[in-house]
Chain A
Amino acid sequence: MLIVALSVLLITAIIALELYLHSHLSIEKFGWAFLSRSTWDPVMEEFGALPFLYGTLVTSAIALLIAIPVGLGVAIFLSELAPRRLSDPITFLVELLAAIPSVIYGLIGIFVLVPWMRNVLEPILGTTLGFLPIFQGAPYGVGMLTAGIVLAIMVVPFIVSVSREILLAVPRSQREAILSLGATRWEMVWIAVLPYARSGILGSIFLALARALGETMAVTMVIGNRPEVRASLFEPGYTMASVIANEFTEATSDLYLSALIEIGLVLFAVTIVVNALARLFIYSLSTKRGAVRT
């Protein structure tokens, strides 16, 4: 059994090693510049990962910008306002959102969200906030904003599920102390409960971020898949995960394949760091069980 347990360590190490070995063609050819070049030309064999890094960062940022307030709001509602009888089933339902396969989010994204973005939200944003460069240009429907919104829906349950347990673990005395000083319910949450739970909440956010960075199918189906760096969120973009999904089977030359694997390596490294941070935040709490469920 020890051997089996150690094999888990081994597998993790082998994954890292294989990714590194198989991307060395591209690493040798482009070096660190791979990360800062924005040409992606399979015909001329010129590869730079900047558009994908950019797309991944932008979509994940949009996702967090939406998912943090919503997720924390839901977690606060479930831990502070809703009675336990209501809170448990609602938590179950919210966690169901995380169980829905990502390809189904993509399906809904293509046929429901994209037309709605094109016809409703993007024109509205364009006319009201169009002076900002991020809301300019033609409303395609597919694009980085749409991908960010799909991602937000997908990561909310991660924030809710972990944050709620952390909030429930905040001692009663914290709440009673500030209430006895005359605080309102909200002030209690804002001044006493949230700061106490800070590191766990940060952990849940990093967990959500890791999920958003690596999400593939739903994003691939709605982002438009164009390897360019554009300021407007309406524009199609491309992410690290989706370029691998789209082009891996088409990679005809060794260098092309190697460049794609290097993108995988970068994605892998980034999610490891983010995940490790999340775990450290959550472990450091050493609260009751359940806090590390994902």
Chain B
Amino acid sequence: MNTTIPLHRRLTNIVMLSLTGLFTLLTLGILFFILGYITYHGITALDRDFFTKLPKPVGEAGGGMANAILGTIKLLALASLIGIPIGFFGGVYLSEYGKETTIGFLVRFAADLLNGFPSIVMGIFAYILIVLPMKHFSTLAGGFALGIMMIPIALRSTEEFLTLVPASIREAALALGLPEWKMVTFVVIPTAFRGIMTGVMLNIARVAGETAPLLFTAFSNRFWSKGLLEPTASLPVMIYTYAIAPYEDWHRQAWAAGMVLLMLVLVANLIARLVLHRRFFQPGAS
């Protein structure tokens, strides 16, 4: 049959289809290059000091990023405390009560817009709301900025996983005479729990690497940061400052921090994929 098709059409077909394959290889190549390069440089740079020591004074070799690691953990905890409850309850509302309503549509649209806001704008927002009145940088401001960024994803992923709960399960609960709120609290949410937790984990992994909103909210700190009201170091900001500085040893540590962040993101994504896969292949089994 192919012989009836003119040569130039067959050629275009082959060339264009090969190009799509080539682009796929190129994209995957770039991904593996980035992963490999960071891992290679990160592993040679990672040592125990990195996790246990404070940064050394400028110009001195050695030291670590213990304060930045703790700073990132504190920022993420605070952000989760702000972003996840709002996102979760908002998501429950959208899925259970606001399906076809105008409010539902508006909230969903606002969440999608919020999700698309440049992260640097979130930084400005937290700066205006928290740094300006307090007159100094703080963990609180940084955590707030990250927390706001977590809302839209928490909201949409909660909604999506709740929507996946089959109508038969809801109807079974209602048929037993449960009021609607009990059905949602004790039947629907537990059924979707694993999915929702996966969403939370991905969400945390995503904001863990955010740098721009921290630059002028959490700022940075070369020492331990006490409580929530002092500026704090964080891994992403450290990577940025160390990468653009002219010191060899700082570059080495930037690679190490880069690898730690990258591993966090990779592990979260892999777990999410495994969890969700099992879900999709055995619906109803739990």
Contacts and interface: CB of A to CB of B under 8 A. Distances in A.
Contact of A104 (B148, B239, B244, B273): B239
Given A77-B20, A264-B124, A268-B121, A104 B13 contact: no
Contact of A74 (B24, B89, B112): B24
A19 B239 contact: no
Contacts of A106: 239-240, 243
Contacts of A8: 86, 90, 107, 110-111, 114, 151-152, 155
Interface string A21-38: 010000000000000000
A4 to B, nearest CB: 4
Contacts of A292: 112, 156
A245 interface: yes
B28 A93 contact: yes
Interface in B2-40: 4-5, 9-10, 12-13, 16-17, 19-24, 26-28, 30-31, 34, 37-38
B63 interface: no
B102 to A, nearest CB: 11
B115 interface: yes
A7 B34 contact: no
Interface stretch (B49-57, B170-178, B257-265): B257-265
Contacts of B110: 8-9, 11-12
Interface string A96-122: 110111111111101110000000000
24 contacts: A1-B89, A12-B114, A74-B24, A77-B21, A90-B24, A97-B30, A101-B265, A103-B240, A104-B262, A110-B243, A184-B5, A185-B13, A187-B12, A214-B117, A214-B119, A215-B118, A216-B120, A216-B211, A217-B211, A245-B120, A248-B216, A267-B121, A268-B118, A272-B117
The 6 closest A-B pairs by CB, nearest first: A101-B209, A214-B118, A73-B23, A275-B116, A77-B20, A184-B13
Interface of A: 1-2, 4-9, 11-12, 14-15, 18-19, 22, 69-70, 73-74, 76-78, 80-82, 90, 92-94, 96-97, 99-108, 110-112, 153, 156, 160, 182, 184-187, 189-190, 207, 210-211, 213-217, 221, 241, 244-245, 248-249, 261, 264, 267-268, 271-272, 275-276, 278-279, 289, 292, 294
